[in-house]
Chains A and B, each alone.
Chain A
Amino acid sequence: MAVNKGSNAAHMLLRLFGLTGLFVVAAGGLVWYAFHGIDHVEMMFRPEEIVQCAAYAVAGGLGAFAFALLFELPGFFGMMSSRRGAVGGSVFVQIVMALVLVGGINAFALSHFTRFDMTWDHAFTLKPELREQLANLRGDTDIVVVQRNLASGLAGGGMPDRYDIAAPKKIIEKVKDLAEQFSDFGQRFRVQVFDIQDDDFDKKVKALGAAEKKATADKNKATNRKDPEESPLADAIESSTENSIFFKANGTVQRLAFHDVYQTDKVASALAQNGQGNLVLNFQGTEPFARKILNIEEKKPRLALAVVHPALSMTSPEHEMLTMNGAKKYLEKQGFLCKDILLRKQDGDGGLSQEAAAVTFDENRFEQIEESLPSLEEHIAEGDKTYAVAKAQLEAWKTQTLAELDKTYAYLKLPNGQEGVATRKTLAELDHRKIPYKTIPVDEDDRKNEVLLYSRDSAVLERALQEYRKERDTLVKERATLNVDELAEKRRIADVEAKIKRMLADTDLLVVPRFTIFHLPSGQMIPNKVHKIDDAQLRAIKAFLKEGKPVLFLLGPTNEKRDAPPDFGGGGDDDGLEPMLAELGFRLPKQTILYNVEVKEFNERKRSIGFSERKTDVPPPLVDWDVGAGQVNKKRDAGTGANSIRVSLDLLAKSIGDKLMKDLQIRHARPVYVEADATSPGNFDEAAVFLMVGPDTWNESSPFLNEKREPPRYTPTKEGDKAKGSLDEVRRGPFPIAVAVEKTLPKSWFEENEKPATARIGVVGNGGVFVGPTLSPIKEKMLLDVCNWLLGRDDLLAKRQDTWSFPRVNLTEPEKKLWQWGTLPGLPLAFLYLGLFVWFVRRLR
């Protein structure tokens, strides 16, 4: 605006007016920004009224400014047309052009930029092959980092140590950095960070949900479809309980926990810097992260659990000691689809029958209900009849006169002293049988007694009928909820093998648990024969393996007391499952591993006869052991290379510390070996092992209190015994109790022209390791690792890759002091001295 020295007061007032207009625009804009989009506020005016007023203020202010500007224009044009003004005008244009140019450069740079990663290890750059894969991805991907500020899903209980407190902060920072690398690919990857500590966390999640629903609605409108308006990403964020990263593309959501990307290595952390400590994190690389994005529409893995009784299934939440419901809950949270296959028919009363079956939990329940309903209906019909009679008699005694009652009833006295009200029909029967009796007419006392009696009977009958009807209604309602779409078809198939094969056709992983021993000192156990499967079922399992599909066997010890518990059903002999595993190279001796500390409990049991209150804590199994541990023949090399599951668990163990590892206690396991070499009976394949029990154990063939109620004692195999030197030798631990290996199946299983398939097989020497309504975090992680490995998803297991730690500088105390005092106050003082020196010199001049 040109400066006009001769402007009068009116002109100044106009300028003031324009300036005030600008101020009003700013103030109105601020109010509009503060109140727009707000639904409700505790104020005198409604938010929409305030926003409207703000808009008016902005419009008015702009008007005032434009009005004032109008009066400046003549002066401006006058100046431009003068000689000096022409120069000024040219400069003005240059300035405007420069401003536009700089604005344009920066606006362009805002959305088109490159980051040059100069770090040694290119810590902020994705690998070229991954960049290429990501560049080829179609569609948009949402990446949401949700920060809940917990140590991890494995935090568990107990007091956190300093590593638990320090690690999450660093891990959160690292994960955010990783997510940010994807945003460099442009708008196709929308990276957001939600922090629970932010005030607007809930608001953000709600807004995300609303946006998801709106996107579906818009898509429906455009494509004329009627897809349900859902918000899977917002729902997943709301239900998450730990620090997680969510990925969403094409309506599919995948989740990754922070500890899948970074894990704290507490052992290395404590030992770092000659024991001074550091924070050591195991970085799993960008693979787990990228995998979720690249395979976002990956099919959910399907897991089937083959058990004999619904109580042992994954679905039943009842029977805390038997159910695997906790495993199901966790696996489903991890994206698995789980189902049960019940291998034995149940009686109507819930008992096990001898008949082999192949039904789902729902189908089994449906059949049970179908079996129960007719008898229930029968009870109800009979009860109705009895109730009607009782009600009629009550009515008669209540309403009829004594003369009328006398026609039907009489008071009867028998010679044996029995007496009471009887019907004339009964008297006729007594006459017929020539039994002498005396009668007197019924009176008011009899009426009173009979009314009381029939009232009570009617009430009892009514209550019983109510219960029956309620039970029937509940069962009918439950029947309607059961998924039995395939039952009718299955009923037409008589062949159990065909039924199981059909059920396993869409299964990716089969789990076969045999929970045998609950508690040795008290002798609580499920006999082996309960778990027995028939040959047809075994053939179906074999066929599953022949397809190259993985199976996890959870097989508890098969030792049994001589005074075996009552028969729960099942045949006498063992089935062919363990011989089949033997064919595959697995050795499962008929032994139970006992811990030295368990002997105390046996002794208490011996003395107390009744229940012992002691809860014996056994050490957790080992995931880190020296090469050759547990081998009987120490001279031979038993194979090298660590099992992937073991490596993952080892990293986890180092991450969560000893306290949480204790939750992995496994009592009453059996040794499980994968034969290393047929010529070396004392060796097993160590690379197949992922869990071992420690040295404070022994392998016992008779792990019960004996007839004299004496506890089992460690008695090593004597020299000369044929078991000596073999894996069956009774000895001190360690013993492998869990193995997982990829096996080429025996040639004999296939036709001559067929190529033997390979399959991944896991065997854990305890049937109850994953039993319970909930699993401890460490057991959850072990189950997930085992399932992922068996399914060939090795990249989801933690690996020993890059480690990260804080950089450290080794300085001695004197060096530290020199650096400290030299730089502060040394350096500043030196410059102050120089300044004073210059000042003095200048003064002297």
Chain B
Amino acid sequence: MESLSLYQIIVAALTVIAALNVLLAKNPVVSAMSLMATLFMTGALYFGLGAFFIGAVQVLIYAGAISVLFVFIVMLLDMRPSLVAIPGRTLKVTLMSLAGLVFAAGLGLVVCGAPLQSMTEGDPATASTSLSIAARFLSRYMLPFEVTGLLIFAAVMGAILIGRAHDPSLRQARKDAK
């Protein structure tokens, strides 16, 4: 097995710290920025694993578009750090955290105990290059690739439809037409 490099250890530590900060920050803007940092550091982790194309796509789409979208929504919703305490919330948080930790322990047992199944083996160095991914996309995964285009188109239309502010003059025009 190959050994860990210092780069991978540092980037992994930064990823986990940023992810914890998403969870623990009081201010939602800090949460959104920590999400951006997590996604960026995960991209750096992909670079460490030799998946350069995936790392570039991660930084472009996830850290560059999705987390910026989150920051926009935080600004749009004008969220403030929550100051109001809700009764019964501490019990709920404790119980859900316990359930989450039990789930984590179960997952950890499965992940660390299961042997790696045999798959079609190849050369690890060229596994995730854009050439090999493109070869897969254009032969085996051609249909999901095309359908994903349709999916994104539908998502854009849906987001515009759901999110637009309702125009009162339009409502009046609809009432007059009836």
A binds B: no
Binding site for A on B (CB under 8 A): none
